Structure 1
Amino acid sequence: MGLFDDIAQGFRNLTGGVDQELLATGILARGEIVSMTLSGTTVSIMNAPVERSCTFVVNVIRDGQQPYQATITQRVQEIVIPQLQQPGVVLALRVDPADPSRVAIDFGSQPPEVNLPENTGPGSAADILANGKPITVVLVANQPIGVNNHKGDPVHALTLTVATGVPEPYQIQVGNAVPASALPLVYPGSKLHAKLGAGPNDVVVDWAAGAAS
């Protein structure tokens, strides 16, 4: 990298400019915004819309890899900032394959659907199904989140009422994979068998057990 490249990189770092090489060559990944902080630095080039430098903390979800968090400082058009501040915003990211901490938001691409790696350790869905406490839950709502488990089953955000097997009923939202065979059970009011792990939010629906009476 030459002197002028160094100067350009320094200006991009200062103003939140995106690394075009990273956008062009980085691995496409799925990003979930955890937090967003606005700076006082704005830039407008050749009468283009005003952009503000923002710092994002995102969950980075790459195909077949464990999710992790990264921090991104990048300019964003001010007109889209209110949309990005809504809960649950998902974005396309570009990740440097040689340095996964280098991440940029790719506003020109759609967030990819990704498959998570298999997890069988303590607290995993497999562990809770094998060793958890039997309970029943009532499905309140569900929404696919664009992520699949290692088998290719889509993961849904499930809003559940934990109905029996606990001292008092309570409501939670959890991510559970939903196999195709279980789709007839996925409707509001569906009463289902489930297993409860160590914490109140460690709930996994036992789709193989079918509907609860």
Structure 2
Amino acid sequence: MNWLSNLLGSPDGSLLTAGELARGHILALSSSSLSMSVMNALPERKCTFTVQVYRDGHEPYTATAVQRVQEVYIPQLASGRAWVAVRVDAANPARIALDFATEPPEVRVEAGDGDTTAASILETGRPVEVVLVQAQPLGMTAPSGDPVYALTLTVIDGAETPYQTQVGNGVPASSLPVLYPGSRLRARRGEGPGDIVVDWAAGPVPPPTAAG
């Protein structure tokens, strides 16, 4: 990319054409004072994007892209809930470009290692009970092949004080019927308050029975 393109926030055309397609979650956006309109199109503003990048079969990482975007889309992209297609230089994964013309792909999440993996927490974590507040598919699959959902959970049993957290968990097809707000689920908690993995194999918590 030449210095003028970089100054104006123009994406690298070769990267957009030949870069590896990945999925990106925009964590933060800061806009500059540079705004321009090309061929009477909607005004575009140069922005700096901080992106969590999910490459198929790799662990996620954070990268930065400086790129122009139509100003009308900035509130949506800055919401913390925006997912976009990302083009990655496989030889230098820190070099990315946002591909607004392409739908974000579905990717397979790397299992990782250590004490914070889902398998480790299910095996060694302490049991807790959670209430599902919200579930949203993330367009990713776990190493098991199960789709990954963003789960907003309230931990109501097994913690000193109930609290709410959001986690990404793979959800097997057999457990989709219990994926509704208010569902009480068994889970395991690791070291941190956000290290929660729902124990789908244990089944939901049965509703209380009426007294005699």
Shift of 1:166: 1.8
Q: Deviations over 1:57-77 (max 9, x none)?
A: 100101101111111001111
Could you say which residue in structure 2 is the equivalent of 1:148?
Answer: 141
The reply to whether residue 56 of structure 1 matches residue 37 of structure 2 is: no
Contact 2:28 2:80 in 1 (8 A): no
Could you say which residue in structure 2 is the equivalent of 1:108?
Answer: 101
Aligned pair count reads 206
The reply to whether residue 205 of structure 1 matches residue 194 of structure 2 is: no
Trace 1:66-81 onto structure 2 (pairs within 5 A).
66-81=59-74
Could you say which residue in structure 2 is the equivalent of 1:186?
Answer: 179
Could you say which residue in structure 2 is the equivalent of 1:25?
Answer: 18
The reply to whether residue 174 of structure 1 matches residue 158 of structure 2 is: no
Shift of 1:124: 1.2
With 123-132 and 185-194 compared, the bigger mean Cα shift is at 185-194
Q: Deviations over 1:14-34 (max 9, x none)?
A: 111111111100011101111
* Residues 195 and 49 (structure 1), Cα distance of their counterparts in 2 relative to 1, 3 Å cut: same
Could you say which residue in structure 2 is the equivalent of 1:4?
Answer: none
2:115 to 111, 122, 126: 122
Q: Distance in 2 between matches of 1:77 and 1:138?
A: 40
* Residues 13 and 156 (structure 1), Cα distance of their counterparts in 2 relative to 1, 3 Å cut: same
Q: Distance in 2 between matches of 1:191 and 1:46?
A: 55
Contact 2:111 2:117 in 1 (8 A): no
Shift of 1:185: 2.0
Q: Distance in 1 between matches of 2:176 and 2:165?
A: 20
Q: Distance in 1 between matches of 2:131 and 2:8?
A: 49
After TM superposition, the score normalised by the length of structure 2 is 0.92
Q: Distance in 1 between matches of 2:177 and 2:39?
A: 55
Letter in 1 for 2:123: A
Q: Alignment partner of 1:99: what SS?
A: coil
Q: Distance in 2 between matches of 1:139 and 1:49?
A: 41
Contact 1:29 1:92 in 2 (8 A): yes
Letter in 2 for 1:137: V
Contact 1:135 1:193 in 2 (8 A): yes
Contact 1:120 1:126 in 2 (8 A): no
Contact 1:146 1:155 in 2 (8 A): yes
2:150 to 135, 150, 157: 157
> Superposition RMSD on alpha carbons, in Å?
1.4
Same amino acid, percent of matched pairs: 53
Q: Distance in 2 between matches of 1:161 and 1:79?
A: 35
* Unaligned segments of structure 1, at least 5 residues: 1-7
Q: Alignment partner of 2:94: what SS?
A: strand
Shift of 1:49: 2.5
1:138 to 131, 135, 145: 131
With 95-104 and 23-32 compared, the bigger mean Cα shift is at 95-104
* Unaligned segments of structure 2, at least 5 residues: 207-212
Shift of 1:11: 0.4
Structure 1: 4+ residue segments shifted above 6 A: none
Letter in 1 for 2:9: G
Shift of 1:100: 0.9
Shift of 1:121: 1.6
